[in-house]
Amino acid sequence: MQQRKVALQIIEDALKELDSPKGSLPSAVQKLHRAAIIIEDKDIEIWCAIQLGDVTYTEPLNKFITYYLENKDTEKKEFQKGVNAHIQELKKLELKPDIHFTTEELNIKADKHGGGYSSIGFITERYLDLVRLKKGNDNTYYKHNLDNHINYIKKKAHSTAVKLYKNLKFSGTVTNCFDLLREAVEDKLLDLNPAIAEQLMLAFNSVSSGKSEEWSQALATCRRLLESLADELYPASDQKYNGRSVGQTQYVNRLWAFMDLSIQSSSNKELAKAHVDFLGSWLEKLNKITNKGVHADLERLEATKSIFHTYLLVADILEYVKDTPSLASKPDINTASLDELEALLNISRSIAKEMIKVRVRDGRLDLENIAAIQGIGKKTLATAKEVFGLADS
């Protein structure tokens, strides 16, 4: 907890530097670097180290850029082979293409007149020298190019600091506990029905979005997954259950019926019935909120509460699920069921679950994100190519 407070204070100081016209960009990056070390955020730590001129990272990055510029017009296959070799070397240093050497950053760093991979302190000094001398360049560095580089680093450092600050400020024990609950629910739901599990994960992703229209969509997704869960656990019937209609559209009543039938302990029957009544009333409320979400704008807090309650409700329902149904298989890896992934790729169920989670996170599965999953090796990748027709990126 104390480390969190220290890191927050350092990030606040960094943001003050970045927001002030008289603030020091090198100082802000150094502070962000220090905060990242304290909270053990390796990605941000490395990015800051690159901007501060750490040769551990800047030298191989420079070699990569030099190779790219000098060989881009050579034979395509050989050129790509060389690029891949450099990228593998960078990855050994824990450098990531979507964080540490994005296309935008490589374009900035490739410009020698803008400072290249020199430290941000050196780049800032060269820029200020040209401003003081009222010169556009000194035949090595150009004021305009240096300014572009500085603005890029400032913008990236600011967005990184803001994101890190929010994560530290608003995360804590409750969030961590919910993450544990979410992981457990998704894992068990994947065993029951991967399609329903994906709906729940997509709903969570939607409510995590900054777009208000996606919050309403999250609730609509929740309603659909509850309908699917009712179909799975208590199929529609023309016969009433304890006076309640359990037809196709009465998915709330069907879930209530499933819970009522599944709680068998006579000693706890009254308590269990009260619990079922609570779940039923909550489902009715959730249904109304969901319908509101389809037709009107929602506050994010309202949507978030509904998603959290859905996880809690599904967690309770899954406590009473006894059997796991088998599922049909499909040849497309991006629509394949959990059973299909496990059987056709000859992998463990836990690895198959990770593949589904990656598919939801990234929107699709390909050889690159499959290869990044722990436990998947060359043999499995070769099988994926053969069975699902995946091609190299």
Give me the amino acid identity at 365. Answer: L
Whether 222 and 293 share a structural domain: yes
At 296, the pLDDT band (50, 70, 90 cuts) reads very low
State whether 206 and 282 are in the same domain: yes
How would you write 127-179 as a 3-class SS string? HHHHHHHCCCECCCCEHHHHHHHHHHHHHHHHHHHHHHHHHHHHCCHHHHHHH
Instruction: Please indicate, yes or no, whether residues 229 and 190 belong to a single structural domain of this protein.
Output: yes
Mean pLDDT of 248-257: 83
Which of the two residues, 88 and 362, has the higher pLDDT score? 88
- In the listed set 148, 170, 192, which residue is the last one of a domain according to the structure? 170
314 belongs to a structural domain: yes
- Which pLDDT score is estimated for 325? 37
Convert the pLDDT of each residue in 90-100 to its tens digit: 999 999 999 99
User: Mean pLDDT over residues 179-191, rounded?
Assistant: 85
Residues 154, 210 within the same domain: no
Please tell me the distance from the alpha carbon of residue 215 to that of residue 298, in angstroms, as a whole number: 7
Residue, of 111 and 319, whose pLDDT is higher = 111
C-beta atoms surrounding 289 within 10 Å: 18
**Residue 117 in domain:** yes
Contact predicate 232/192, CB 8 Å: yes
Q: What is the pTM of this model?
A: 0.47
* Residue 280 to residues 186, 213, 239, Cα–Cα distance (Å): 22, 28, 19
CA atoms within 13 A on the CB side of 173: 1
Residues 139 and 276 in one domain: no
State residue 265's pLDDT score: 60
pLDDT beyond 50 at 192: yes
DSSP class of residue 283 equals H
Rounded to whole angstroms, the Cα distance separating 37 from 64 reads: 26
Kindly state whether residues 159 and 178 are assigned to the same domain.
no
pLDDT in tens, 37-47: 999 999 999 99
330-369 pLDDT tens trace: 357 888 888 878 877 889 999 999 999 999 988 888 888 9
Domain count, the chain: 3
Mean of the per-residue pLDDT values for the chain? Answer: 83
**326 found inside a domain:** no
Q: Residue 331 falls within a domain, yes or no? A: no
Residues 208-249 pLDDT 10s: 766 777 777 777 787 788 888 888 888 888 877 778 888 888
Tokens of 36: 């990242």
- What span, in angstroms and rounded, lies between the C-alpha atoms of 56 and 49? 9
CA nearest to 116, candidates 50, 178, 56, 177: 50
User: Is the domain of 303 the same as that of 342?
Assistant: no
Farthest-apart Cα atoms in the chain, separation: 89
- Contacts for 259 with CB less than 8 Å, ≥ 6 apart: 275, 276, 279, 280, 316, 317, 320
Percent of the chain whose pLDDT exceeds 70: 84
Does the pLDDT value for residue 66 go beyond 90? yes
On whether both 111 and 231 belong to a single domain, the answer is no
Q: Are residues 162 and 194 in the same domain?
A: no
Residue 182's pLDDT is what? 85
Torsion (CA) 364, 368, 374, 375 in degrees, nearest 10: 100
Q: What DSSP designation does 284 have?
A: H
Range of the domain at 162: 2-170
Pair 377, 303 in one domain: no
For residue 206, is it within any domain? Answer: yes
Domain boundary, last residue among 137, 170, 203: 170
